Amino acid sequence: MATLELSLDETSTEPVRRGRWLGTLFWLAIGWMTLVFAVAILADVLPLPSPTDMDMLERRAPFSAEHWLGTDGLGRDELSRLIYGARISLIVGLCAPVIGLVFGGALGMLAGYFRGRFESFVVGSMDVLLAFPPLILALAVTAYLGQSIFNLTCILGVLGIPAFMRVARAATLSLARREFVIAAQALGATHSRILLRELLPNVLLPLLAFFLLAVAVTIVVEGALSFLGLGVPPPISSWGSMIGEGRESLDVAPRLAFIPAIAMFLTVLSFNLIGDTARALTDPKQGAL
């Protein structure tokens, strides 16, 4: 009997320990994101050297009081480039999912509410976009329009529309036949009023939770494109371009690739943790457990 009671106590305390551990990780993620956003926003007023000034006599200089993270292969301050690179990565990582959220969310709600031929057209169009290789699309648009932050953001935003459309459509399908929607239709409410007043507040919660996860994915994709030379044009720095430049110095100064990679890893992990927590809070099935 004592053994059974002990095993029951351990089983009952396991969810509590897991919840405390996840809560600690969540607040650590919040702290890291606060730090990243703060230094990215205040980069112009921080006492940092220019991220583009080169000093060939200080190439790959080690950590020092003048250069806290050393210098890169062209003598540029690594800390300054890391902070300004955070600004670029966050701008692209936040703005691109906004495009997917607005257009994909609107298309998904309309498709899930009106159904019929319009739904078939929207879903088919998104399937065509998903079937097109994203790297080929990025190459084609970059070759035609040129490299810029705006072009890169638009490309990633368009590629994110199908995912947001599917999330919004699935949420709308589950809500379109609910009692409050049927009651609004019986009272003579217009389609626009039902979409904006009844469905949008309920669909917006899962969309915002998915938005945080999309930000993490977009930062990784932007880093991969910049690593391949398809991201922001030089001398603008982003974490992906810094990793790409640092691979040439892996044998003599591996920190040039590892430092921005660690910064990207922690940022993406933080967005994932915050997004998972938000998704758990907005999921009625998990909330009922």
Residue 164 has a pLDDT of 92
Q: What is the pLDDT of residue 99?
A: 92
Query: Residue 261 phi/psi, 5° resolution?
Result: -65, -40
The domains of the chain are located at 27-42+70-281
| Per-residue pLDDT at 15 | 56
pLDDT for 78 equals: 84
CATH class assigned to 27-42+70-281: mainly alpha
- Which alpha helices (H) appear in 146-254, and where do they start and end? 149-175, 179-186, 191-193, 200-227, 239-246
Kindly state the tokens that stand for 97: 């999912």
pLDDT at 88: 86
pLDDT value of residue 4:
47
Tokens of 169: 């459509």
Quote the CA–CA distance of 125 and 123 in Å, as a whole number.
5
pLDDT average per 10 residues of sequence, the chain (289 residues): 49 57 79 89 84 76 76 81 87 90 91 86 87 78 79 87 90 83 80 82 86 86 79 78 80 83 88 79 49
Distances from the Cα of 53 to the Cαs of 42, 125, 168, in angstroms? 19, 47, 46
The pTM score is 0.80
